[in-house]
Amino acid sequence: MTTFKSIFKGDVYIWAIVFILSVMGVLTVYSSTGNLAFAKQQGNTEFFLLRHLGFIVVGLFIMFVVHNIPFKFYSKVSNALLALSVILLGFTLFFGYNINNAQRVIPIFGFTFQPSDMAKVFLVMFIARYLSKKQDEVDNVKVFAKLMGVILLVILPIIPENLSTALVIMATSTILMFIGRIKTKFILALILMGVLAAVSFYGFLKIVDMNKYQNTRLPTWERRIDSFLGKDKSGDSNYQKTQAKIAIATGGFWGKGPGNSTQRNYLPHPYSDFIFAIIVEEYGMLGGMVLIACFIGLIIRALKMVVDSQRSLAALIVLGIAISTSFQALVHMGVSVGKLPVTGLTLPLVSMGGTSILFNSIAFGIMLGISRHIQEEKLKGSTTGPGSVTETSNNDHENA
């Protein structure tokens, strides 16, 4: 145990969550890539298993490396990486590779790279950093406006290709701003604007002639929203929703057992967009509850760190990452149980998808790094006594 702790530093619970998610992901991805293997790899079902396993191993390695990097370092490079993300997003928008009529990936070395996954992590870090720096001016409209400017810079290139990811990033950012003490008035105004924008956007979808936009994402969005509102009973989204519900309904409490899913054959992307449905089908209500507990537990651990840590920057980053990760997970689950419109959101660390795993690993690595830092601080605190508090708060300013 001591050796384990000396290698895997930081919060043990978060490490446990990482392992549970990874194991569940590997099992379910293997079970649900049968069709994909049939279609793309001549039935070589191990291909996707090994690839996913490869990403998980690389992800764990990244986590390990990142959580050992001093927290100062990545808070410095995060801005640069966010800028790079925005450039890549713009690049994808114009030159990206088409999957399911949605341009959202760049092919690199035979893999597909989704810049939105990258942007998400670094945007969260940016917001946390910016807010912790401006804690004294959070009531200032300018601060809010500047922040919104950056957020929109990231979100706008994502919207045309992947509206749901954009919305999740927007929502996460809003939550972060709320936690970061941005005036509630601003937040409410923002939400109001969002609702207005959504309603007018839906109106726009209804008004325009879809025949002219067959090659864009517009018809998909219209169908998905219609389907969610219960207007389109026959469409593809409705089909997916029904199949996901069947998966969940037939899972029972204990599930059908690993590899026994039948709905994996009906659901599109059972290994990513609908992996939660397959998990409930194979591992039952029990499996579902474990996963929900993992993601809620992540926030609990983050809150614990906020209480333990003396610095608002670290606290905000940890909370931001935990909330954005869990928020995405819960939206994914909400889609699977048919409570939210169909989106292409993955379940962090569980779903197949290289970029998603890699950047979630970075995010988890940062959380673990901060928790390591906090633990070491506490350790130091216990040896040096209460005097160390002031020292830490000085560091806080230095970092910010």
Partner 1 sequence: MTANKINTRKEILNRSRIIFACVALFGLYLVVSIFRLQHGMEKDFSISQERKNTRVSEQTGIRGNIYAGDGGLLATSVPTYDLLWDSRVNALTDQHFTEKLDSLSYLLARNFKKRNKQEWAAKLIQLRKSGHRYYTLLTDLSFDKIKQVKTWPLIREDKYKGGFWTIEEGKRMYFMGEMAKRAIGYTKNGVNVGLEGAFDSMLKGQTVQIVEQRLPGNIWRPLKVGVGYEAENGKDIVTTLDTRFQDITQYALNKALVQHRADHGCAIVMEVATGQIKAIANLKRGQDGNYYESMNYAVDQFMEPGSTFKIISALALLEDGEATPSDSIATHRGKIKFYDTEFKDDEHNKTIPRTYTLQECVEQSSNVGISQFVDKAYRNKPSEFLSHLEQLGLTLKPNFDIPSSNHPVVLDPNNALWSGVTLPSMSIGYATRLSPLQLLSVYNAIANSGQLMNPYLVKEIRQNGKVINQISPKIINKKICSKRTNKQLQEMLRGVVVRGTAQNAFKECLVDVAGKTGTARIINKNGRGYSNRHMASFVGYFPADKPTYSIIVVVNEPSAGDIYGAGVAAPVFRDIANKIYSAHIRIQPELIAQEKRSNPSPLKGNPNRIIPILDELEIPYNNEDGDSEWVESQNEAGTISLSSISHKSGLVPDFKNMGAREALILANKMGLNARISGYGRVYQQSIKPSTRIHNKIDLTLFLKP
Q: Which residues bind partner 1 (CB under 8 A)?
A: 35, 38-39, 135, 175, 178-181, 211, 214, 236, 239-240, 242-243, 245-246, 248-253, 265-268, 280, 285, 288-289, 292-293, 295-296, 299-300, 302-303, 306-307, 310, 312, 315-316, 319, 323, 326-327, 330, 333-334, 337-339, 389-390, 393
The nearest distance, CB 179 to partner 1, in angstroms, is 5
Cα–Cα distance between 254 and 270 in angstroms, integer? 20
The nearest distance, CB 156 to partner 1, in angstroms, is 25
Q: 284: alpha, beta or left, given left = phi > 0 and alpha = psi -120 to 50?
A: left
The nearest distance, CB 55 to partner 1, in angstroms, is 24
For partner 1, which is the closer residue by CB, 157 or 341? Answer: 341
Interhelix angle 115-133/354-384, nearest 10 degrees: 30
Picking from 344, 296, 342, the residue whose alpha carbon sits closest to that of residue 322 is: 296
Helix (H, G, I), strand (E, B) or coil at 102: strand
The nearest distance, CB 64 to partner 1, in angstroms, is 28
For partner 1, which is the closer residue by CB, 102 or 285? Answer: 285
With 0-12 CB in 10 A as exposed, 13-18 as middle and 19+ as buried, what is 82? buried
For partner 1, which is the closer residue by CB, 62 or 222? Answer: 222
The nearest distance, CB 126 to partner 1, in angstroms, is 17
For partner 1, which is the closer residue by CB, 156 or 285? Answer: 285
With 0-12 CB in 10 A as exposed, 13-18 as middle and 19+ as buried, what is 73? exposed
For partner 1, which is the closer residue by CB, 69 or 191? Answer: 191
For partner 1, which is the closer residue by CB, 2 or 234? Answer: 234
Picking from 209, 197, 188, 212, the residue whose alpha carbon sits closest to that of residue 166 is: 197
Cα–Cα distance between 250 and 243 in angstroms, integer? 11
For partner 1, which is the closer residue by CB, 7 or 39? Answer: 39
DSSP 143-184: HHHHHHHHHHHHHHHHTTT-HHHHHHHHHHHHHHHHHTT--H
Name the E strands within the chain: 97-99, 102-108, 111-113
Helix (H, G, I), strand (E, B) or coil at 261: coil
The nearest distance, CB 295 to partner 1, in angstroms, is 7
DSSP 52-94: HHHHHHHHHHHHHHHHHS-HHHHHHHHHHHHHHHHHHHHHHHH
Q: What is the DSSP letter of 335?
A: H
Cα–Cα distance between 342 and 359 in angstroms, integer? 23
The nearest distance, CB 65 to partner 1, in angstroms, is 28
The nearest distance, CB 288 to partner 1, in angstroms, is 5
The nearest distance, CB 312 to partner 1, in angstroms, is 6
For partner 1, which is the closer residue by CB, 162 or 326? Answer: 326
With 0-12 CB in 10 A as exposed, 13-18 as middle and 19+ as buried, what is 392? middle
The nearest distance, CB 367 to partner 1, in angstroms, is 15
Cα–Cα distance between 94 and 170 in angstroms, integer? 22
For partner 1, which is the closer residue by CB, 56 or 316? Answer: 316
For partner 1, which is the closer residue by CB, 8 or 228? Answer: 228
CA within 13 Å, CB half, 232 = 19
